[in-house]
Amino acid sequence: MRIHKSTSVFLFLTLTMVLTAALVGCAQAPQSAEDERENAVTQEAQEAQEAQQPSSTISDEVPQSQGAPAIDSRAAEFEVDPARTQWTFEAPQTKTVYLTFDDGPSANTQPVLDILDQYGIKATFFVTGINPDYLSMISECYRRGHTIGMHTYSHDYEQVYASVDAYWQDLGQIADVVRQQIGYVPCFIRFPGGSSNTISANYTLGIMSELAQEVVNEGYQYYDWDASCGDGAVHTADELVEATKADTAYGYQSIVFLMHDGAEKQTTVEALPRIIEYFQSEGYTFAPIDRSTCVPHHGIGN
């Protein structure tokens, strides 16, 4: 009887801890895919602008990729491997924020890297192939200790979500680019629009449900986000800082934080130091995504 009582108490406590961890941890209410949706609207404008940008804006100091780069120790840990099926869904012990930058590399990637270096912070870049002149920045991000994840090659929703095969073709294209830049294909991905996007329903009904399962079966893991600076739409730096505070007011233990280093995101660069200092003042430390990062998944809407 006594044993049963103890067992019940133990089970109750365990359940309470798990539920608490889920609530305070990374299993938070799904964010809307609004940021990414709004971003898609500005995609055309971005591309038009990018077409006018000279390719010479990359610093001469940035090493250009020449042939297959040397594979470092992170390769063994981060390379996609269908045999590795363990992922973390528990919040870390200490308050941690994972800054993530989507839609680059672009002309804004270099200033983002310099700011991160100034603060001694490592982050994660979910890269695309939409700015061919800046692809060498992928290896530069990696060389400086940041994690490289794959976002999409084209970032064209109509194309990417035309079919399951079309998605894999697009992912294969960005995988080829990333392999050229860092020597291997990483397991970390982020769906265009996040897994909760409903834009994909315009092209293929149910595709997100299917892809969410398939990518994991193939050894990838998709990382949505817990909070955002709101730069999916056009905002001033002041507004981005305020949006950051509003979206993180719950004080989550683990925050995978969505930002963009795409071609039109100068105000994100401008706001970045204040966003970093805000998280520091709230007691957060910064980390790049790795296989031990608490995986945030949105609710799938298509």
The footprint of Zn ion (CB under 5 A) covers 102-103
| Residue 185 vs 259, nearer CB to Zn ion | 259
Taking the C-alpha atoms of residue 211 and residue 244, their distance in angstroms, rounded to an integer, is 30
Give the residue with the Cβ less far from Zn ion, 197 or 254. 197
Residue with Cβ nearer Zn ion (80 or 160): 160
Residue 286: half-sphere exposure toward Cβ, Cα within 13 Å: 21
Tell the smallest beta-carbon distance from residue 21 to Zn ion (Å): 29
Q: Return the number of the residue (225 or 284) whose C-beta is nearest Zn ion.
A: 225
Nearest residue (CB) to Zn ion, 128 versus 244:
128
Please name every residue paired with 128 in a beta bridge, in sequence order, or none if there are none.
Answer: 152
Q: Is 277 helix (H, G, I), strand (E, B) or coil?
A: helix
Q: How far apart, in whole angstroms, are the C-alpha atoms of residue 27 and residue 20?
A: 10
**Closest CB to Zn ion among 91 and 229?**
229
CB atoms within 10 A of CB 57: 11
Closest CB to Zn ion: residue number:
102
Work out how close the CB of 209 gets to Zn ion at its nearest, in angstroms, rounded to a whole number.
20
- Distance in Å, CB of 272 to Zn ion, minimum: 18
Closest distance between Zn ion and the C-beta of residue 154, in Å?
11
Least separation in angstroms between CB 131 and Zn ion: 13
Q: How far is the CB of 60 from Zn ion (least distance, A)?
A: 29
Q: Where are the alpha helices (DSSP H) in 84-133?
A: 109-119
Cβ atoms 135, 153 nearer than 8 A? no
Can you tell me the distance from the alpha carbon of 44 to that of 246, in angstroms, rounded to the nearest whole number? 29
Rounded to a whole number of angstroms, the minimum distance from the CB of residue 81 to Zn ion is 25
Distance, CA of 104 to CA of 114 (rounded, Å): 15
Three-state secondary-structure class, residue 156: coil
Extract the runs of DSSP E, i.e. beta strands, from 96-232: 96-102, 124-128, 147-152, 188-189, 221-222, 227-228
Question: What is the phi-psi region of residue 155: left when phi exceeds 0, alpha when psi lies from -120 to 50, beta otherwise?
Answer: left
